[in-house]
Amino acid sequence: MMPIGPLMIEHRLIERMIEVMKRQLRLWEGGQKANPSFIETAVDFIKTYADRCHHGKEEDILFRDLSKKPLSGDLRRIMEELVEEHRWGRQTTGALLKANEAYRKGEVEAVSTIFDCVKALVEFYPKHIEKEDRHFFLPVMHYFSTEEKNAMLDEEYEFDRLLIHDIYREYVTKQEANLKD
């Protein structure tokens, strides 16, 4: 099994969530209202699953190991683009979270920022995923031996196993900090 298998499976779930976000956006635009609870859920999904889990494995495992390989110029350029796209996704998701907080506080003009951020994310992710699936993941696997692929796969499974502990450790730390205020 190649280490990209789990990454491509994760893409399918991200695509499903992006489709839900797209459908929600169409509903909201008709009434010029957003659903703050849904936005919190979408932001949590993007931050935790798409970015921290999925992009984390790409950047911390696959890209790290690829940086040691003599990649072709095109593949190295694509890898750099993907890292930059991950940063853009984080910034846009952060802006969405900030706009949602303002909207919850009654700043109705924040709805336009919410719409802009959601539109940007639902346009971005399908293109980003296509670039990874069709133009990057499969070609870069030729740079790895079977042993290297298996080692990355093991590391991806360990990454997933530890992620839930990191998430809830952060949650408890935040709750403890809130009690000190």
Provide the whole-model pTM: 0.87
Q: What is the CA radius of gyration of the chain?
A: 18
When pLDDT is averaged across residues 83-89 and rounded to a whole number, the result is 98
Measured CA to CA, the distance from residue 172 to residue 89 in angstroms comes to 26
pLDDT in tens, 46-70: 999 999 999 999 999 999 999 999 9
23 and 118 in contact (C-beta within 8 Å)?
no
Residue 158, amino acid? E
CATH number for domain 4-180, candidates 1.10.10.10, 3.30.870.10, 1.20.120.520, 1.10.3720.10? 1.20.120.520
Give residue 1's pLDDT.
Answer: 44
Which residue ranges make up each domain of the chain? 4-180
Closest CA to 46 of 84, 13, 23, 24: 13
